[in-house]
Amino acid sequence: MHSSSVKSFFEFIRKAWPLLPATLYLTGFQIIVFVYLLGLSLSDPAAGVEFPSIQPFLNLFADSRFQSALLNTLLFTVVGTPLELLAGLLLAFMLYQSFTMRGVVRSIFLIPLAIPALVTAMLLYILFDFPGGHINHLLAGNYWSLPAIISEPINWRGSQFFSMGISLMGKIWRDMPISMLILLTGLNSIDPELFDAAKTMGASLFKRIFAIVIPLIIPSISAVVLLRSVEMWKEFIFPFVLAGRYNLLGTLIDFFYNELGNSNRAAAVAIVMVICIVVTTLVLLKVMELLQRVLLRRG
Amino acid sequence: MISATPKRIPMTSGKKVIWTTGIILAVLIVTVPVYLLVKYSISDIKSINTGGKPIPWWPFEPTMQAFLYLFRDHHFYQVLLNSVIVAFSTVVLSLILGVPAAYILGRYKIPGRKLLLLGIISVRLFPDIASVIPVVEFFIHIGAHQTYWGVILAHTLLALPYVIFIGIGAFESIPADLEQQAWVMGAGTGQTFFRILLPLATPGLAAAAIYTFLLSWDEFIFAYFLMLGNQEIFTLTLYLNGIKYAEPQNLLAAISVCLSVPVIIFSLMVQRYMIAGISTGSVK
Amino acid sequence: MADVILRSLSKKFGNSTIIDNLDLSVRDGEFVTLLGPSGCGKTTLLRMIAGLESIDSGELLIGGKRYNAIPAQKRRIAMVFQSYALFPHMTVRRNILFGLQLNGVSQLKMQQKLKWVTGFLHLKGLEDRLPREISGGQRQRVALARALVLDPDVLLLDEPLSNLDAALRETAIEELKRIHRHVGKTIIYVTHNQVEAMSMSERIALINNGRTVQYDSPTALYDSPSNIFTAEFIGSPQINFFDGVIQAEEDGLGVMTDIGLLKLDKERNSRLKDLAGKKVKAGIRPQSVYFSKHSDSRRHTDTVIELTVELVENLGDKYLVIGRNITGAVVRFLIVRDEEVIPERKMKVFVDGRKVHLFDPTTSLNIFN
């Protein structure tokens, strides 16, 4: 028994040894990540807490900075995911029709993805400058007799609401091509004859979209919602550049680690982030399962 | 019944107007920011610090000032060099580790293959910002903190799953007959690999290499945490971030353009490859 | 009233003309088939009637009302597609009731209609299944049911049987005939399969290159083809064609061809006198060439041909024999399978003069029209 499994193990090594370096590399890092995260977050030398203890987490939850970061990130995710889904849907619907410049327009729509996230963040940093950025001038009605929407320039990065807002905008702008591609694949898999059939049965455009298209692209929509909400939870670059004073979980990690030098607390936040992601994923999967069942039951 | 053009949906003129407006709006939303970035990079100072007057949509006196400044600054060259060194080394390391792995996974059925593949993808599911702390702490312990090596190792960690996946695709698509032909002619496994499989997989591996280069070139999070404190080795992304409060906007924009240019060029090339990967499955 | 009139209908896709000045009229309650080879435009025509394709020029009238500009949603027509186009995410019940729900029909009425149509089309018990859970034949009936419950003025069917195997197709043909008898709606049916067309239609519009070639009852199309295309397309096995010249000598009045002097029936033969010297194409169906052991059972007008058998095809109850005569002309004919027929055998066969069709080679038209 024992000898045969050892033998087959050596066989395995002999055949598959080129696989090992990469596997060891990746596994090694994963292990390091887990070990350090757990080790760091369950202790707090500065506060005299020895490993293992959940006291650091309790301290973290009591920290008002953490509470607002958690809330902010939750809002960020809850607001951002549907918006990104919407943006992707609109782009995908527009590309669904076949027209002469379709290939060109699709390439154009993919541009945001090609631009490094930091660059996009930097661009927004410039545009939403206070007091004299492009956007402030635009909203103040300084161009071509466009109406003035504000009387005072807005301090975008100075307000929690606005800085989160522009971070979200940047993230959505940058990532919407991915949603678009996923949804477009779903749209392309629908048999066009279904629309013909619906038309002959008297269905208006509205009905055709909501009774046929949407249900048939639920899998794609689910994929987008799942992937995008995870992305929102772990967002770092945009809030880092644009919303430095207010925290999301990602920038909170940077704050604790680089500014306070507290690696333990930073690790704890990281663990909380991972937990949030896992919980969100499980919840969404469950919701999608229920949705499938509801859609099929009616009638 | 095959219609003359795929999915030509007849639209009433009303709908067509809405749709056309939508497309134009979307194109603008996507391209205007890019235009603005370029505009800022060629703006003269008066077009930026307008002293209260509205910022022009086209600079008063467009100039290459910002770029010239950059390319005369030897510090900037150092930064560029750093990015190149890191990116290039990442490519090399990722290929050394990833190509053999892709070869085995792509052409052999080994027990636990599916599990392994799942494991490899899941490495990328873990948030970067969460794994950064352990990695930095670990590197501090082994003395790789604030060195080129630290960043290179970290970037390889990020790129390796993609290299393996793209590599698997490249190796899988080579017909088995070619390999068998080589064996029949007396070639050993090693010779077959180097003289037959590797050359044929090269286009796919080249795509993986380009993707890795870009990934490293654009990377901010790991670079930031790992290099903070050692300005000498800053990559372009760090440099940009470091000066964002201090320097004028045209300079920031110029650096941003430098950051983006290789990306856009290669993106157009890689794009076709990536779309093929994501969009397969659109079969009626 | 649900009569359908197509007047000078035309449609182009880019540079190619798909429908070329086509005229057609279907009476209320009639079962008409659009028959033709692939690419002839019959499906495009059907889609134009449905409102799924636009009309470039000409008029479409249904029940006397001009339908050109009316969108598909508002037309009182129902269509069954070749692929059935069942909504994959809806049960059979929801598929069938989809159109009724759109029109705000009462729950009671919907259930009544559902009950009727599932009984009528043998779909009882399948109401809660999804399309992927039922067989091809059942899916086809669901597509039909979906169309029937809408109570349309005109029912359009686009090759609905082409995905079924031969046995199912026969049953389906019976079903469709039964449906037409029972429901009495105007039905326009598209197919490239002449067996379907011949067995179900009251009239068949034979279409080629976007034009109507001949529009007649199945019998008329078979017995009196007005042109070469009809003669070639209708009838299986395919018709024999021979080039010939009309001879006008007293006792030699007929058509001189490679297989000999063909005489027609008395009435038509006498008209040949005025056409002496004219070049013609003679068409003779394999069914019109017969073999008889007793040479005196033939008619006076029948022509004798001496053939050497080249090939024999077993069609089940008959043989299809391909034979050549001395000049090398090929004749295909049918013979009951109690004769021993082998290659190289010499046979004498007779051509039934009543069944010979003559066509003008340049205009392709039957010279007797």
- Tell me the nearest-neighbour CA distance from A34 into chain B, angstroms: 8
- Tell me the nearest-neighbour CA distance from B11 into chain C, angstroms: 11
Mean pLDDT over each residue of chain C, to the nearest integer:
88
Beta bridge partners of C308: C324, C346
DSSP type of residue B54: P
Question: What are the start-end ranges of the H helices in A97-217?
Answer: 102-109, 111-114, 117-127, 134-139, 160-188, 193-200, 205-207, 214-216
Nearest Cα residue to B219 out of B125, B49, B25, B86: B86
Residues from chain B that touch A108, judged by Cβ atoms under 8 A, are 27, 30-31
Nearest Cα residue to A116 out of B226, B164, B235, B70: B235
Mean pLDDT value across residues B114-137: 88
Residues from chain B that touch C82, judged by Cβ atoms under 8 A, are 1
pLDDT given for residue B154 in this prediction? 93
- Rg of chain B over CA atoms, in angstroms? 24
**Closest residue to C14, CB basis, from B1, B4, B10:** B4
Distance CA C349, CA C302 (A): 10
What is the side-by-side strand order in the sheet with C346-351? C289-290, C346-351, C303-314, C318-324, C330-336
Mean pLDDT over each residue of chain A, to the nearest integer:
86
- C158 Cβ contact list (under 8 Å, min separation 6): B1, C43, C46, C47, C79, C80, C81, C82, C190
Are C203 and C216 in contact, with CB atoms under 8 Å apart?
yes
Distance CA A275, CA A278 (A): 5
Distance CA A34, CA A12 (A): 28
Q: Which of C173, C208, C232 corresponds to the end of one domain?
A: C232
| pTM, to two decimals | 0.79
* Lowest-confidence pick of A38-52, C7-21, C161-175: A38-52
Q: How far separated are the first and last CA of chain C, in Å rounded?
A: 33
Task: Say yes or no to pLDDT of A203 above 60.
Answer: yes
Query: Is C189 domain-assigned?
Result: yes
Among A60-64, A173-177, B103-107, C160-164, the range with the most confident prediction by mean pLDDT is A173-177
Distance CA C322, CA C308 (A): 9
pLDDT in tens, C290-301: 887 665 556 766
State the residue for tokens 């049987």: C161
- Tell me the nearest-neighbour CA distance from C52 into chain A, angstroms: 7
Are A205 and C106 in contact, with CB atoms under 8 Å apart?
no
Distance CA A20, CA A18 (A): 5
Distance CA C333, CA C239 (A): 9
Residues from chain B that touch C53, judged by Cβ atoms under 8 A, are 10
For each of the domains in chain A, give its residue range(s) and CATH number, in order of start: 64-261 (1.10.3720.10)
Mean pLDDT value across residues C4-11: 92
In this complex, do C82 and B1 lie within 8 Å of one another by their Cβ atoms?
yes
- Tell me the nearest-neighbour CA distance from C78 into chain A, angstroms: 6
Q: Which of C232, C266, C291 corresponds to the end of one domain?
A: C232
User: Domain check: are C40 and C173 in the same one?
Assistant: yes
User: Domain check: are C147 and C246 in the same one?
Assistant: no
Q: Which of C180, C211, C232 corresponds to the end of one domain?
A: C232
What CATH number did the domain enclosing C351 receive? Answer: 2.40.50.140
pLDDT in tens, A74-119: 999 999 999 999 999 999 988 887 677 788 888 889 889 888 999 9
Distance CA A246, CA A160 (A): 6
Task: Say yes or no to pLDDT of B283 above 70.
Answer: no
User: Domain check: are C254 and C285 in the same one?
Assistant: yes
Peptide bond connecting A52 to the previous residue in cis, omega within 30 degrees of 0: yes
Query: Is C369 domain-assigned?
Result: no
Neighbours of C175 (CB within 10 A): 18
Residue C31 dihedral angles phi and psi, to the nearest 5°: -110, 105
What Cα–Cα distance (Å) separates residue B56 from each residue in B35, B59, B238, C20? 13, 6, 29, 59
Band (pLDDT 50/70/90 cuts) for residue C251 is low
Burial class (CB in 10 A: 0-12, 13-18, 19+), C302: buried
Query: Is C106 domain-assigned?
Result: yes
What Cα–Cα distance (Å) separates residue B75 from each residue in A118, B70, B232? 20, 9, 9
pLDDT given for residue B274 in this prediction? 58
Hey, what's the torsion of the CAs at B143, B147, B151, B157, to 10 degrees?
A: -30
Peptide bond connecting A192 to the previous residue in cis, omega within 30 degrees of 0: no
Residues from chain C that touch A215, judged by Cβ atoms under 8 A, are 89
Distance CA A258, CA A255 (A): 6
* Interface with B, mutate which of A11, A29, A185, A208 (most B CBs under 10 A): A29
Residues from chain B that touch A233, judged by Cβ atoms under 8 A, are 127
In this complex, do A200 and C77 lie within 8 Å of one another by their Cβ atoms?
yes
Task: Say yes or no to pLDDT of B180 above 90.
Answer: no
User: Domain check: are C92 and C200 in the same one?
Assistant: yes
Among B58-67, B257-266, C50-59, C258-267, the range with the most confident prediction by mean pLDDT is C50-59
Distance CA A249, CA A236 (A): 8
Band (pLDDT 50/70/90 cuts) for residue B270 is low
Band (pLDDT 50/70/90 cuts) for residue A4 is low
In chain A, which among 253-292 make CB contacts under 8 A with chain B?
253-254, 257-258, 263, 266-267, 270-271, 273-274, 277
Task: Give SS3 for C194.
Answer: helix
Q: What is the ipTM of this complex?
A: 0.83
Mean pLDDT value across residues B13-28: 86
Band (pLDDT 50/70/90 cuts) for residue B186 is confident
More confident residue, C181 or B262: C181
Residue B3 dihedral angles phi and psi, to the nearest 5°: -85, 165
pLDDT in tens, A157-202: 888 888 899 999 999 999 999 999 999 999 988 888 898 999 898 8
pLDDT given for residue C317 in this prediction? 85
Mean pLDDT value across residues C81-106: 89
Task: Give SS3 for C23.
Answer: strand
Nearest Cα residue to A240 out of A120, A141, A93: A120
In this complex, do A202 and C102 lie within 8 Å of one another by their Cβ atoms?
yes
Are A157 and A130 in contact, with CB atoms under 8 Å apart?
yes
**Tokens representing residue C347 in the block:** 């046979």
Q: Which domain holds residue C216?
A: 4-232
For A173, what's the count of Cα atoms within 13 Å in the CB-facing half-sphere? 26
Residues from chain C that touch A217, judged by Cβ atoms under 8 A, are none
CATH match for B73-242 among 2.170.190.11, 1.25.40.10, 3.90.470.20, 1.10.3720.10: 1.10.3720.10
Residue B137, amino acid: E
Task: Say yes or no to pLDDT of B185 above 60.
Answer: yes
**Closest residue to B4, CB basis, from C13, C82, C158:** C13
Band (pLDDT 50/70/90 cuts) for residue C249 is low
Distance CA B80, CA B239 (A): 9
Nearest Cα residue to A136 out of B246, B50, B31, B37: B50
Distance CA A124, CA B255 (A): 15
Query: Is C43 domain-assigned?
Result: yes
The number of domains in chain C is 2
Q: How many residues in chain B? A: 284
User: Domain check: are C142 and C11 in the same one?
Assistant: yes
What CATH number did the domain enclosing C89 receive? Answer: 3.40.50.300
Burial class (CB in 10 A: 0-12, 13-18, 19+), C353: buried
**Tokens representing residue B214 in the block:** 């870009």
- Tell me the nearest-neighbour CA distance from A208 into chain C, angstroms: 11
**Tokens representing residue A55 in the block:** 């006291």
Distance CA A216, CA C270 (A): 69
Distance CA B67, CA B49 (A): 18
Tell me how many residue pairs between chain A and chain B have CB atoms under 8 A apart. Answer: 234
Here the contacts of C46-50 (C-beta below 8 Å, separation 24 or greater) are: C46/C79, C46/C156, C46/C158, C46/C188, C46/C190, C47/A196, C47/C158, C48/C9, C48/C11, C48/C19, C49/C4, C49/C6, C49/C77, C49/C154, C49/C156, C49/C188, C50/A196, C50/A200, C50/C75, C50/C77, C50/C79, C50/C156
What proportions of chain A, in percent to the nearest 5, are helix, strand and coil?
Answer: 75, 0, 20
Burial class (CB in 10 A: 0-12, 13-18, 19+), B261: exposed
User: Beta strands C211-216 and C57-62: pairing type?
Assistant: unpaired
Distance CA A222, CA A226 (A): 6
Query: Is C367 domain-assigned?
Result: no
pLDDT in tens, A209-244: 888 888 888 889 999 999 999 999 999 999 999 988
Residue B35 dihedral angles phi and psi, to the nearest 5°: -60, -45
Query: Is C87 domain-assigned?
Result: yes
Query: Is C15 domain-assigned?
Result: yes
User: Beta strands C154-158 and C186-191: pairing type?
Assistant: parallel
Burial class (CB in 10 A: 0-12, 13-18, 19+), B283: exposed
pLDDT given for residue B3 in this prediction? 32
Share of chain A above pLDDT 90, in %: 33
**Tokens representing residue B186 in the block:** 């007396």
Are C65 and C76 in contact, with CB atoms under 8 Å apart?
no
Q: How far separated are the first and last CA of chain B, in Å rounded?
A: 14
